[in-house]
Structure formats: structure tokens, C-alpha cells
Amino acid sequence: MSLLWLRVAVFLYGTAALAVVPAALYDRPRWRHLAIPVAVLAVLFHFVSLTETLNAAHHSFPVDTHETQSVLGLLFALAFLLVYWRYRTFALGIFLLPLAFLLGLLPAFRPGLETANIPGLQSGWLFLHIALLLAAYAALFVSLVASVLYLIQERRLKSKSLSTATIKLPPLATIDSIALKSLLIGFPCMTAGLLIGSLLAQISYGAAYFGDPKILLAFAMWLAYIGMIYIRRHSGLRGRRAVYLSSFVFMVILCVWAANQFSVVHRFPTP
């Protein structure tokens, strides 16, 4: 049944992603009233599916690529709903809902059947490590999207083209608040996730853990994250430079994921 619920969730994500476009671009109330309930239903079905999948596999956290994709897609959808609840804007849904749809496609229609032999598989601490890092990645992506929207809105204001704009965006202060608060939420998640992972890996792998390529890149990503928050808060970085800085840190994250192929600690099987 878990696959059925996930496929329903993917269908609902696709419907919500289509509905959010006219709601955000043309401010159509009818589509707005459709997009939010459908997205909420998709999240509920997705959560039920993920819970059933993990229970059936007898582990409490994602251990392969497909399960990780599914969790990340759920986090993107939740991020959209939280931003809408707090700021009443659909703009981020144009990016986040299609991502939730795409990340759910493979787990829904080509599920991984493999199992993983990972030390401490049943550890709640290991689950917390993975959940916190996924939340940090999702928060950073939301911040990147908000920075891009800030740049778009800033250019409109400078060119005085708001009257002919197609997409309805919140004020610059609201967009900047979304970007900064996303970073401030993601940073403690990343810090706690790395600390928990370091302690667990020390128990299982010893000092060799710190020679792992993904670990080195992960701590580089943490330092870049600190630098980005410091620069944004103390120098008032906005617009294009904020987009460049967020993009740089996001590229580091992609490098961390790519390092799975060379990691002795974090190599996840794929179908």
C-alpha cells in the first residue's frame, strides 16, 4: 500500500504544481484555493507512504537513494506550506512543488528493493543525524530560491515594471526575511547533524572517519554556511551577490552528495 499512497502523493504534487502557476503568476483565487488543499493532501499521503515504507523495511530512516529522495521531496513540500502559512506567498511553490513531484517519481514508480548493511542501522541517533542534514539541505535550497526571487523583484522595482509584471511577489523585506530565516533554521540543523554523525562514526570507524572525502567536504560546507550567514547579517548582502553566495554553498552540497561514490562511510546503494 505504501507505493499506492506515494503514487497518489506524486499525482497530487503534480496537480498542485500546475495549480500554483496561475495562482502565483496571475493571482487567480480559484487556483489558489485549489493549490493549497491539494498540496496538504499530497504531504499527508506522502508521510503515510514514507512511514509504511520504513516500517516494512524495519528501519527508521532512509538508507538508499530512493528513500532519501522521497524524504527530501517531502521536506520541500512542507517548506512551501510553511512559507505560505507565514507569508501568504505562492512564489516559492513554482520551484518547490515541481521538485517535490520530481523527487517522488522514481521512488513511486521504480522503487529500490535493496537493503543496506550499515552499522547501527536501528539507532535513533543515526536517524536524527540524517533527518537534521536533510532539513538543512532543504532550508538552504529555500534560501537560494528566495534570493533569486529577491533579485527578480529588485530589478522590477528599479525598472518600474511592476504594473506589467506577470508573477506576484511579496515585498523585498519579506523575501529577504524568508531567505535569512531559512538559513538560520538550517544552520543549527546542519551543526547538530554533523556533530551527531561525527560521534557515531568515531564509534564505528575510528580516526579513519576524518580522512573520508565526504566528511572533509561536509565540514567545508559547514564553514561556508557560517560565512554566508555572517556576511548576510553583518554586511547586509542582498540581490545578485546573495544569489552567488547561496549558489556557491549549494554547489558545495552537490559535491558532498557526489562524494558518496568515494566514501567508505556514506555510500548508499542505488537500484
Give me the residue spans of the domains in the chain: 1-108, 125-271
d(CA 17, CA 219): 35
Per-residue pLDDT of 168-188, as tens digits, reads 777 888 888 888 888 888 888
Q: Can you tell me the mean pLDDT for 244-270?
A: 64
In the numeric block, which cell numbers belong to residue 72?
527530501
Per-residue pLDDT of 25-75, as tens digits, reads 666 778 888 899 999 999 999 999 988 887 876 666 666 667 778 888 899
pTM score > 0.75 for this model? no
Length of the chain: 271
HEC readout, 134-196 = HHHHHHHHHHHHHHHHHHHHHHHHHHCCHHHCCCCCCCHHHHHHHHHHHHHHHHHHHHHHHHH
| Per-residue pLDDT at 236 | 63
Query: How far apart, in Å, are the Cα atoms of 142 and each of 138, 153, 174, 182, 184?
Result: 6, 16, 14, 7, 12
Q: How many CB atoms lie within 10 A of CB 227?
A: 13
Q: Which residues of 85-115 are buried (b: 16+ CB within 10 A; e: fewer)?
A: eebebbbbbbbbbbbbbbbbbbbbeebbeee
Question: What's the distance, Cα to Cα, between the start and end of the chain in Å?
Answer: 21
d(CA 70, CA 40): 16
pLDDT of 243 strictly over 60 = yes
Comparing C-alpha atoms, which of 31, 5, 172 is closest to residue 94? 31
For the chain, percent of residues with pLDDT exceeding 90: 11
One-letter amino acid at 165 equals A
One-letter amino acid at 68 equals T
In the numeric block, which cell numbers belong to residue 16?
498542485
Per-residue pLDDT of 134-153, as tens digits, reads 888 888 888 888 888 888 88
Strand, coil or helix: 28: coil
d(CA 132, CA 193): 5
Lowest mean pLDDT: which of 72-81, 131-140, 157-166? 157-166
CA-based diameter of the chain, in Å?
A: 61
pLDDT of 119 strictly over 80 = no
| Per-residue pLDDT at 114 | 43
8-state DSSP, 115: -
Check residues 93 and 220 and name the one with the higher pLDDT. 93
Per-residue pLDDT of 87-117, as tens digits, reads 888 888 888 998 899 888 878 877 654 444 4
